Amino acid sequence: MSQRLVVIGSQWGDEGKGKMTDYFACRADMVVRYQGGNNAGHSVVFDGKKYSLQSIPSGIFNPRTVNVMANGMVVNPVSVIAELDRLHQQGVTDYQLFISNRAAMVMPWHSALDGAYENMKGESLIGTTKKGIGPAYSDKYSRVGLRMGDLLEPEYFAERLKAALDVKNRELKMLGLPEFDFKEVYDQYMEIAGKIGHMITDTSKLINDTLLTDAKVLFEGAQGMMLCIDHGTYPFVTSSTPSAASVPVGAGISPKWIDNVLGVAKAYCTRVGEGPFPTELFGDIAHEIRERGHEYGTVTGRPRRIGWFDAVVARYVARLSGIDNWALMLFDVLSGLDKVSICTGYECDGEILDTPPSTISRLAKCKPVLIELDGWKEDITGAKSFEELPEAAKAYVRKIEEVTGVPVGMISVGPDRTQTITVANELKNF
């Protein structure tokens, strides 16, 4: 009987999903990315080297692991090839990678449109990664998209490309953007098909066949639940659903397979891009955490906004995704602070809220209700067990469990694979 583990971001992205996925991938048979695209930036650190992945699953470093980019993703094949080239240059040459024939394809006009829409929004821009993610998902749902499997049938690809360009070129023209030439795009994508066509397959079948064996299968989420198109801080969100609930659709499997969800959360919070952020910190503490945690975007290099751990968000996300355990990340970054705070509720218009409001207009008015705990001075980057942590750090972990109602199953005390403490027995056995 297979074992499954879903690794999802529980805040606003960049929680350390890449690190946790790689950690488990060392003993997993399959790693599946089920949503998002190359807007993600997942870092993996081991043997003194740092790797950054955008759309390729974080199991790519283990030659035994089958990596799958599933149908729920938006795949930019140009970016996949560039990522693979980069990995080759870094010595990663022995890997297994498959791409769903049903995955939506990010085309060059999508990034052009992403930039144009952002410009048109003026001050209310989202602050997207400009990778064309929103326009690619929009075209999927408007049914003018191309899919990865189309590349395998040149005549059909030509037909779909013509149909797409008929619509998209008109839109580009209206916006004063350069149009795309059918022949040029066709030739470029046929060349791409020659390079990665052998990886494109029915990944739903591949995953299901694996689930029926005694394999270990990981599902790697991208972004974070507060960036979810349905449940996040709309409109300051991405265009997919990072939830564990989107794994079945995004991977082409039955929901019955989902039974173990690891919510990856920083010991504090960060956010890149615009949008309300109730526990946001400014000044010295934000600066200290940003520098110590190297909180600059992997994809865009933007400084990340910093805030205290938000238990309102954590409880909400646990409810939406059925989180069994937290992986508490970047815990080492909090060492050295005199006091640390956790947000347990929001105060809004004289009311105390224990769950986020649906509109950002109300969320922007929310003030965090904070509890303050003692900090700790010790360097914890070498801690190998929960018992080794300073008492104040242990108290912080216990408080997070208490205010979120979810156990802390993993604690990360540094970026390296080895700087990981597993607390939960079910995770030790995965």
Q: Is 8 in the site for ligand IMO (CB under 6 A)?
A: no
- What are the residues whose beta carbons fall under 8 Å from the beta carbon of 348, sequence distance 6 or more? 357, 362, 365, 366, 367
Measured CA to CA, the distance from residue 311 to residue 345 in angstroms comes to: 7
The contact set with Mg ion (CB under 5 A) reads 14, 41, 298
Helix (H), strand (E) at residue 312 = helix 311-321
Residues 281-320 that bind ligand GDP (CB under 6 A): 293-294, 298
Q: Is 332 in the site for ligand GDP (CB under 6 A)?
A: yes
Q: How far, CA to CA in Å, does 59 sit from each of 14, 211, 223, 232, 385?
A: 17, 17, 17, 27, 25
* 99, 133, 245, 427: residue in contact with ligand IMO (rule CB under 6 A): 133
Measured CA to CA, the distance from residue 4 to residue 378 in angstroms comes to: 36
Choices 130-138, 146-154, 172-180, 203-211; region in contact with ligand IMO by CB under 6 A: 130-138
Q: Is 231 in the site for ligand IMO (CB under 6 A)?
A: no
Q: Is 13 in the site for ligand IMO (CB under 6 A)?
A: yes
* 5, 97, 206, 222: residue in contact with ligand IMO (rule CB under 6 A): 222
- What are the residues whose beta carbons fall under 8 Å from the beta carbon of 20, sequence distance 6 or more? 7, 262, 264, 327, 329, 410, 412
Torsion of CA 362, 365, 371, 374, to 10 degrees: 120
Q: How far is the CB of 415 from ligand GDP (least distance, A)?
A: 3
Measured CA to CA, the distance from residue 174 to residue 165 in angstroms comes to: 14
43 neighbors 297 (Cβ within 8 angstroms): no
Residues with a catalytic annotation lie at 14, 42
Terminal Cα-to-Cα distance of the chain (whole angstroms): 13
Residues 266-285 that bind ligand IMO (CB under 6 A): 272-273
Q: Is 265 in the site for ligand GDP (CB under 6 A)?
A: no
Q: Is 126 in the site for ligand IMO (CB under 6 A)?
A: yes
Q: Is 15 in the site for ligand GDP (CB under 6 A)?
A: yes
Q: Is 17 in the site for ligand GDP (CB under 6 A)?
A: yes
Q: Which residues bind ligand GDP (CB under 6 A)?
A: 9, 13-19, 40-43, 45, 293-294, 298, 329-330, 332-333, 412-415
Q: Which residues bind ligand IMO (CB under 6 A)?
A: 9, 13-14, 39-42, 126-129, 131, 133-134, 222-224, 227, 238-239, 272-273
